[in-house]
Amino acid sequence: MPKDQQPDSQEMAWHALPLQGVLEHLEADEGGLSSETARQRLARHGPNRLTPARRRGALRRFLAQFHNILIYLLVAAACVTAALAHWVDTGVILGVVVINAIIGFVQEGRAERALDAIRDLLSPKAGVLRNERRTTLPAEELVPGDIVLLQPGDKVPADLRLLSVRNLHVEEAALTGESVPVAKQTEAVEEGSALGDRRSMAFSGTLVSSGHAKGVVVATGDATQIGRISALLGEVTTLETPLLVQMDRFGRWLSAAIVVLAGLLFTFGTLIRSYPPADMFLGAVGLAVAAIPEGLPAIITITLAVGVQAMARRQAIIRLLPAVETLGSVTVIYSDKTGTLTRNEMTVASVITTEASFDVGGSGYDPHGGFSVQHRPVAPEDTPILQEVARAGLLCNDASLEAVEGEWRLEGDPTEGALITLARKAGLEPALESEELPRTDAIPFESEHRFMATLHHDHAGHAFVLVKGAPERILAMCSRQRRTGEDEALDPDFWHRQADRIAANGQRILALAFGTAAPGEHELQFAEVETGLTLLGLVGMLDPPREEAIRSVTECRRAGIRVKMITGDHAATARAVGEQLGIGDGGTVLAGSAIDDLSPEELQHAAWEVDVFARVSPEHKLHLVEALQMGGQVAAMTGDGVNDAPALKRANVGIAMGQKGTEVAKEAAEMVLGDDNFASIAAAIREGRTVYDNIRKSILFILPTNGGEALTILAAILLGRELPITPVQILWVNMITAVTLGLSLAFEPTEPGVMRRPPRNPKEPILSGFLVFRIALVSVILVGGTFGLFLWERLQGASLPLAQTVAVNTLVAFEVFYLLNTRRIHDRLRSTDDLFGNRYVLYAVAAVIAFQLLFTYAPTLQHLFGTVAIGPTTWTRILSVAVTVFVLVEAEKAVRQRLGPG
């Protein structure tokens, strides 16, 4: 329901109105709304968000829990027991069915809520003009009349009527199904045009594939076109991963096999052993119930959800659940440099002109700091060439710096922020300069062309162009160089030498140039800046590495993961920064242009051998990922720009930057970094490995429990003995251990050695030979102990209910001890932390003890389950037998460690 929209705003044909009419109608102007107006409109129109689709209702979700082959089996069993008038059995079986459904319902709800919360972390932002200034706001706060700025990679945040465009192309597949980007314009189109032909509009939810634009918001939230067709309600993360699918298939296969086995057992028992069919039926049901690991899928799901939450706390936001598993097997990380490995806090440290090489003092955006040449201070006012470089950097600039409570806050690109600070240090006042030389047009910076150009007019009617960008690019545009007095012919060698010199200190280099333009010129074309410019100078900026990134690079290395740096910067800068971070060790740096010349084999070799790649384009990123994957590697790749999307999609784990990343990159990625920080990738990998460990632990714990129970029943029937555990008792054991002991492993903290192991081979099945061996070993120990103690009690003259009570308690005690073993899959438990470090395990054990005491002593439960009270010596016997599993599994680990890996 579009709520609180102006009644006519839905009906308006905004696309057909002239610009002035649109602005008047919306009571807006090109400078943006004031905060106060925006606030009032927000109150009137509501937040710019789509009403979420209704989820399946709680009742339907609850009923869905019964849709499961095991439950059908149990219900059938309940009917048969009812027909035989075994009311207690019927009651218990139905009780179990309901409890199972409740547990599944609660856990599923929890997992879904966890994923919802994470989706909220990804809500998009929008570049807006408010109070005549550019700011970035959560897209939810947009109101009709807001002026929105679009750039490549943005997701259009609301329906916009375009006010100005520069080469704007929008991909509207979400709305029209058309995947070829549509060129946009500002001229009105015919009133009756179809959505796909409304070229004067940009619609909410569509993606800017190239170009820039300014538009006024005409509709928000449910009143937008996308809201009206109510498609695209956010990416819905499904609770499905390859592992879950694999486990599901395994579970179904196992269930079928068990049902067949139970059938055979029933036939064998009635025909050969002459058990009464009713008893035998219950025995067969008992076997089926015992053997099917019904709790496992829920435990895996919850383990994944717990892992996803843990990752979100570490700023790694999972968009697609399978990434959680893949992260654990990543062998190579390709990381961007600027902002991910470095802090993206740029400070100009050197300025090079034809006349001198200036060192610049100070740090950060604070404009305190002077200039010196070979340690001798110089006054900028007396050095016109220095001021000219600084002025060019200030005017050819889209950023703004503001002092808020003594701290300099940057809006825009840090590279440009650093140039504003440089200008202030050189004694220039930003507001005055842009007033004197107002900007009339601009070609914005894009990584593809590596420069930015602006057109200015002074008040005397002169027009000129300022350009800044990567030195190779700018040098190719220049024919002359600036010298006070008279300009001279360009000496490219001189500048290349200077660029190499400062880049070798890890400085990022920009060249600045100047050109004249015809006074009547009001639009800047590429062709105009391609030739005939005058080079003013170079600036070198420092961007310190992140301390935590240095530590994480070392951690990844130890974990058998290669970290490779990819940057748009100069090769010498890349090498020096790589060295500071411990990447590449100052060795070979491969430049993007060289990548183009490699044969596929050479590229595969280089993708693995080289650790630092410079002047790389998004296309190179794609080639590098493909080459690595061909060599069998599992690659993670970071990216932020619109053109990074193919590489992000192709990578095994595509990682987008949450802060400086575009929406397009985020949508192509499996994971988004909330803080753009490399350290968060390492943290996510650690969590990914933990999740996988915990899933393996759950399997390792649950399967022998089922195996032990099933074998106990099987052995009893085959040997023609009484059942040591009745079917309802088995249901009891499964129920209480699944909700307590099994679940506690989902919360296992990371094992200490997790980042000292090599990455997991993704082809390795989750049930490795080792796991199968451990499962078989423990199953046998459990059967031996449970059945053995049962027989012993009977031989000593104990009644059947007493011996059965002992058997159930033995089985549960085994599980408690074995749970402790399972906290470490391979390593022996050496410390109290190894034993008791997970408080959920302790809670679970305490709960199980309480349940078993009730089971043994509470009269109602005694009646329901046919148990009787047992004395302290019996308990001692049970515990002494049960502890053997602990001792034997620890001994197995010790032997395995002595024999070495493999």
Residues acting as catalytic residues: 336
8 A C-beta contact, residue 411 and residue 136: yes
Query: CA-to-CA distance for 901 and 516, rounded, in angstroms?
Result: 71
Binding track, positions 375-414, relative to ligand ATP; x by CB under 6 A = --------------------------------------x-
Close Cβ partners of 843 (under 8 Å, ≥ 6 residues apart): 740, 744
For position 469 contacting ligand ATP by CB under 6 A, the verdict is yes
CA–centroid distance for 580 within its chain: 27
* Contact residue for ligand ATP among 468, 564, 620, 689 (CB under 6 A): 468
Query: Is beta strand 653-657 parallel, antiparallel or unpaired with respect to 635-639?
Result: parallel
Cα–Cα dist 419/401, whole Å: 10
Least distance between ligand ATP and beta carbon 468 (Å): 5
Residue nearest to ligand ATP according to CB distances in the complex: 568
Binding to ligand ATP by residue 781, rule CB under 6 A? no
Dist. CA 675–CA 149, nearest whole Å? 23
Compose the 709-728 pattern: x for residues touching ligand ATP by CB under 6 A, - for all others: --------------------
Contact 534, 482 (CB under 8 A): yes
Query: Closest separation between CB of residue 338 and ligand ATP, Å?
Result: 3
Considering the complex, state which of residue 337 and residue 823 has its C-beta at the smaller distance from ligand ATP: 337
Q: Which residue's CB is nearer to ligand ATP, number 130 or number 666?
A: 666
Whichever of 399 and 746 has its CB closer to ligand ATP, that residue is: 399
Q: With residue 453 as reference, give the H or E element that holds it.
A: strand 451-457
Residue 543 beta carbon to ligand ATP: minimum distance, rounded to whole angstroms: 9
Q: Is 451 in the site for ligand ATP (CB under 6 A)?
A: yes
- Which of 569, 670, 693, 709 touches ligand ATP by CB under 6 A? 569
Tell me which amino acid residue 842 is: L
With binding defined as CB under 6 A, does residue 865 bind ligand ATP?
Answer: no
Spatial distance between the Cα atoms of 826 and 59, rounded to a whole number of angstroms? 43
Among 187, 157, 151, smallest CA distance to 169 is for: 151
Among residues 41, 86, 425, 508, the one that binds ligand ATP under rule CB under 6 A: 508
Least distance to ligand ATP, CB of residue 576, Å: 13
Looking at the chain, how many residues does it have?
Answer: 902
171 contacts 179 by C-beta, under 8 angstroms: yes
Angle, helices 69-83 vs 87-120, to 10°: value is: 160
Q: Give the amino acid at 353.
A: T
* Cβ proximity to ligand ATP, 637 vs 730, nearer residue: 637
- Dihedral sign for Cα 781, 782, 783, 786, please: positive
By CB under 6 A, is residue 620 in contact with ligand ATP? no
**Measuring CA to CA, how many Å separate 174 from each of 148, 150, 586, 669, 829?**
20, 18, 46, 17, 54
Interface pick for ligand ATP out of 10, 447, 629, 750 (rule CB under 6 A):
447
Regarding 656 and contact with ligand ATP (CB under 6 A), the answer is no
> Which CB sits closer to ligand ATP, 46 or 537?
537
Distance CA(54)–CA(477), nearest Å, equals 57
Tell whether residue 450 is a contact of ligand ATP (CB under 6 A): yes
Q: Site mask, ligand ATP, residues 314-353, x = CB under 6 A?
A: ----------------------xxx---------------
Task: Tell which one of 226, 452, 477, 841 touches ligand ATP (CB under 6 A).
Answer: 452
Selected range binding ligand ATP among 177-185, 254-262, 502-510, 803-811, rule: CB under 6 A: 502-510
CA distance 470 to 480: 17
Write b or e for each residue in 875-891: b if 16 or more Cβ atoms lie within 10 A of its Cβ, otherwise e. Answer: eebbeebbeebbebbee
| Contact region with ligand ATP (CB under 6 A), list: 434-442, 506-514, 690-698, 705-713 | 506-514
Q: What is the DSSP string of 96-110?
A: HHHHHHHHHHHHHHH
For the CB of residue 887, give the shortest distance to ligand ATP in the complex, in Å: 55
Alpha-carbon distance of 348 to 416, in angstroms, equals 10
For position 688 contacting ligand ATP by CB under 6 A, the verdict is: no
In the complex, what is the shortest distance from the CB of residue 647 to ligand ATP, in angstroms, rounded to a whole number? 12
Contact 160, 201 (CB under 8 A): yes
Q: Which of 7, 10, 8, 6 is nearest to 223 (CA)?
A: 10
Per CB under 6 A, 415 contacts ligand ATP: yes
787 lies in the binding site for ligand ATP (CB under 6 A): no
Binding to ligand ATP by residue 543, rule CB under 6 A? no
Least Å distance, CB 700 to ligand ATP, is 42
Chain contacts with ligand ATP (rule: CB under 6 A): 336-338, 413, 415-416, 445, 447, 450-452, 468-470, 508-510, 566-570
